[in-house]
Amino acid sequence: MTNNTTSADALRARMVDKVRAKGFAANSRVEQVLRDMPRHDFVPGHDLDTAYHPFQAVITHRFADGSSLSCASAPFVVAMMLDQLDVRPSDRVLEIGAGTGYNAALLADLTGDTQLVTTIDVDPDVTTQARRNLNAAGYGDVRVVTGDGTDGVAEH
């Protein structure tokens, strides 16, 4: 198990290198935000090797029966989605499914303004954790909403 900042930086760089080698994070802006964002801050309670595994989701919430409720998507999936979305500075983004807040933070960096990103989830435990992670990472202005995102978030 690895546990210092230098190791986190090295693991993050290796994660992005592996994701890029598979053809994801092809957009240079996506690559850069993945290189800069400390993913381990969004999966507290998990070791750095788990946090920076390029092809593995990190389960963060489970139902009482043990089945998974929420996760931090595998980094290659995050990269693929962000490449396809092609977020530009000043875009307003609504994310359905708050997860850990990691993707919302990446989106905030891509838009250039934390106030342009809203993330919503139906589960209050998920949004509480996303809010806590976003605040701790300096993304307190990202909107985190508990609710059904089917019709978006009208007030934003």
**Which residue type occupies 71?**
C
Of 7, 28, 70, 73, the catalytic one is 70
Rounded distance between C-alpha atoms, residue 154 and residue 37, angstroms: 29
Rounded distance between C-alpha atoms, residue 63 and residue 85, angstroms: 30
Contact between residue 73 and residue 107 where contact means Cβ atoms under 8 Å apart = no
Q: Is position 70 annotated as part of the catalytic site?
A: yes
- Look at the block and give the residue holding tokens 């595994």: 53
Instruction: Report how far Cα 126 is from the mean position of its chain's Cα atoms.
Output: 13
Catalytic machinery residues: 70
